Amino acid sequence: MIKKLFTFLIIILLLFTTLTLNEFFNNNQYISTFKTFVVPDLKISNKLLEDYYSTNNARHKKASESIILTTLKNLKYNQWIEYIDYIDLILYKSDVLPSSGEELIVVLNLSKDTSVIAIYSSVNGEYIFTNKIENILPIQSIKFLPIPELGYNLLITDQLLDERLGAFFLENFVEIFLYTDDTFKSVFKKTKYKEEIYNAAWINPKASSNEWIKIIENNNITFDQKQKLSIAVSINRQKFEAIKKTFPSEEDFKLTEEIITQENYYWNPSYQTFIMQEGMIKNSTTSIAIVDDTNHWLESFLGFPSNNYKIITKDGKIFYLDKQFISIHQ
């Protein structure tokens, strides 16, 4: 009896060990990088990049397909392989990791509302998959901005959400990513252009079903590196209204409200993000930084006021707090 029980426990232990190791080898970032290092089909060679930049259309097309396929395999996005002909590929090179040298940045716009960025490091003349940025919208472009104290660059992504077919919504925004703690973290996000149309009754049941609202937000975002890395955001938001039983045309809308304001952010090494101001939570010793002001949000503009700051603590916790509980450093 004891022998059978011992055998049973050994079998359970072996099964548990097998499952645990399988999970580790499939999901551990460093094991994935090692797999890429030793499997030729998971690398991107300099020869392949030469073909991609070739003026010969056949070579360029074949190289593009190969880079997309390799990246989908590295990301374990096998479900997208059958749609390879519809995937938009964009390549960049920049120093975005702490290690020396430039990385290869591969952007795959998978669909109208899904994109992914794969990061490859150069090793012995080949590029090895090392990291990724997921859960992003289609990338229009990427620019790079150095952080002197870190020695590598931020990724400034220009993303687009186009839901004009059916949802009447379009947004183009900037989102900045920084590599830290083995991953890429979003450290700034702000709308560049937004246009949306909706029926007033969709958000207010008491409103007339003939009342339509259009919001246009056209913001100017500029970067300054002269003294300290800073971002200035000039916000211009307009509200238009129309009265019509059917979906209104452009001419039906009349301007009813407009707001113009300014937001200023600067890079803070202590918080590893862009902030507006520093301060403390009143009646405490907790230092915080302000990363957003809800008074400037679209909801406040539409009559749903909020008087909160979005704040971050030194240990990276992010939450909202009423302004009356914040003391701002002068």
Q: Could you tell me the pLDDT band of residue 289, with boundaries at 50, 70 and 90?
A: very high
Q: Whose structure tokens read 């560049």?
A: 192
**What pLDDT score was predicted for residue 296?**
85
Q: Is the pLDDT of residue 226 over 90?
A: no
Q: Could you tell me the pLDDT band of residue 301, with boundaries at 50, 70 and 90?
A: confident
210's tokens: 């003939």
- Segment 68-80, tens digit of pLDDT: 999 999 999 999 9
Domain boundary among 136, 171, 201: 136
DSSP code, position 295:
G
Q: Is the pLDDT of residue 313 over 80?
A: yes
Would 20 be classed as within a structural domain?
A: no
Same domain, 156 and 245: yes
Would 17 be classed as within a structural domain?
A: no
Domain boundary among 262, 295, 316: 262
Average pLDDT over residues 273-300: 91
91's tokens: 């390549």
Same domain, 50 and 77: yes
Q: Is the pLDDT of residue 138 over 70?
A: yes
**What pLDDT score was predicted for residue 103?**
97
Same domain, 51 and 72: yes
Same domain, 100 and 216: no
Average pLDDT over residues 235-263: 95
Q: Is the pLDDT of residue 303 over 90?
A: no
**What pLDDT score was predicted for residue 34?**
46
Same domain, 67 and 90: yes
User: Which among 75, 107, 102 has a CA at the least distance from the CA of 91?
Assistant: 107
Q: Is the pLDDT of residue 21 over 70?
A: no
3-state secondary structure (DSSP) of residue 236: strand
Mean of pLDDT over the chain: 88
**What pLDDT score was predicted for residue 32?**
47
Would 109 be classed as within a structural domain?
A: yes
Tell me which of 19 and 235 has the higher pLDDT.
235
Domain boundary among 219, 234, 262: 262
322's tokens: 């009423």
- Of the chain, the end-to-end C-alpha distance in Å amounts to 77
Same domain, 307 and 235: no
Q: Whose structure tokens read 């993000």?
A: 273
DSSP code, position 300:
H
Residue 78 sits in which domain range? 37-136
Q: Is the pLDDT of residue 28 over 70?
A: no
**What pLDDT score was predicted for residue 35?**
46
Same domain, 257 and 287: no
Average pLDDT over residues 297-305: 78
**What pLDDT score was predicted for residue 168?**
87
- For 30-71, give the DSSP string: HHHHHHHHH-GGGEEEHHHHHHHT-S-HHHHHHHHHHHHHHH
Cα–Cα dist 296/191, whole Å = 12
CA 229 from chain centre, in angstroms, equals: 20
- Segment 172-198, tens digit of pLDDT: 999 999 999 899 999 999 999 999 999
Cα–Cα dist 220/232, whole Å = 8
**What pLDDT score was predicted for residue 197?**
93
**What pLDDT score was predicted for residue 148?**
83
Tell me which of 12 and 68 has the higher pLDDT.
68
Enumerate residues 6+ apart whose C-beta is below 8 A from 273.
178, 185, 187, 188, 267, 289, 291, 312
Number of domains in the chain: 3
Same domain, 255 and 284: no
Would 292 be classed as within a structural domain?
A: yes
Tell me phi and psi for residue 61, to 5 degrees.
Answer: -65, -45
CATH number of the domain within which 298 lies? 2.30.30
